[in-house]
A = this chain, B = another copy of it.
Amino acid sequence: MNFMEKLTAAMRRNNSLVCVGLDPALNKLPAVLQGRPDAIYEFNCRLVDATKDYVCAYKPQAAYYAGQDCDEALKASIAYIKENAPDVPVILDVKRGDIGSTAEWYAKEAFDRYGADAVTVNPYMGYDAVQPFLDYADKGVIILCRTSNPHSGDLQNLVADGKPLYVHVAELVRDKWNGNKNAALVIGATYPEELRELRQLCPDLPFLVPGVGAQGGDVEKVVKYGCSADGLGIIVNSSRGIIYASKGEDYAEAAGAAAKELRDQINSYR
């Protein structure tokens, strides 16, 4: 099963558009895990156990593992998901982009070394920076379009030929880069009007939507503006709101409850 099929199947099976961002910072982990050499791995495993029936995807953010020198915990966590929640795809959030011969190595990193089902990539360098990822036809390639951060408009809102840069990206992906039908877009929940515009422009592309929860995105607007005609089409990521729902010993249980609550909130607007 390729990424897109696996994603859709998970959405239907768990009746969920929720993606949990596995972004563990050692200094924010529950006290019960502090000091354990396997703290990050253990944290992720327990989060997966508690949330796997309420989500359509997991999204580990590579920076947390790279910055804390714990690549092995990332690799082991993805392996754990594949073993214990095999129906839930893993999106490795790396936002890579480089010249073709180099991007091939980054594709190997994401898909071969870590075993991810999908990856996020940056379009600034153009087609040949993205194509080595797209060539993995059974993997998903989720391209930054309109990102959730406050200054995302610095470049993305510049208007060329009457259209902002992020629309150019969306149209390139829709019309030229998606020959393998494995592309999707990143569109921040913090820009709901753009989400609506992009859904109209790209009725069939899946959107990864970060920015609800800590970043302040409005869930109702995300669902109403972002869903495709079949009521699917958006992968709504929440990280801190789920993984740090409790800092106590009940952190996993609380994360499960938070994931279920977000799922139900989203579904109430579908």
Which A residues form the contact surface with B (CB < 8 A)? 23, 61, 63-64, 66-69, 71, 95-100, 102-109, 112-113, 122-129, 144, 147-156, 158-161, 165, 168-169, 172, 215
Contact = CB atoms under 8 A, between A and B. Distances in A.
B63 A155 contact: no
A124 B156 contact: yes
A149 B105 contact: no
The residue among A102, A108, A125, A150 with the most chain B CB atoms within 10 A of its own CB is A125
Given A64-B105, A154-B126, A149 B100 contact: yes
Given A106-B63, A128-B150, A165 B161 contact: no
A124 B67 contact: no
Copies of this chain present: 2
Contact of A155 (B68, B109, B165): B165
A67 B105 contact: yes
A128 to B, nearest CB: 4
Contact of A99 (B66, B112, B148, B156): B148
Given A95-B96, A126-B153, 5 more contacts: A63-B98, A64-B102, A124-B147, A126-B147, A154-B172
Given A63-B98, A124-B123, A155-B169, A68 B105 contact: yes
Given A99-B148, A155-B165, A158-B161, A67 B126 contact: no
A126 B105 contact: no
A168 B172 CA distance: 21
A259 to B, nearest CB: 21
Contacts of A151: 125-129
Contacts of A68: 105, 108
Contact of A144 (B103, B124, B152): B124
Contacts of A154: 123, 126-127, 172
B155 A158 contact: no
Nearest to A151: B126
Q: Which 10 residue pairs spanning A and B have beta carbons closest together?
A: A67-B105, A126-B154, A126-B151, A63-B105, A158-B160, A67-B108, A127-B151, A99-B149, A124-B124, A66-B109
Contacts of A156: 124-126
Contacts of A169: 155
Nearest to A104: B67
Contacts of A125: 144, 147, 149, 151-152, 155-156
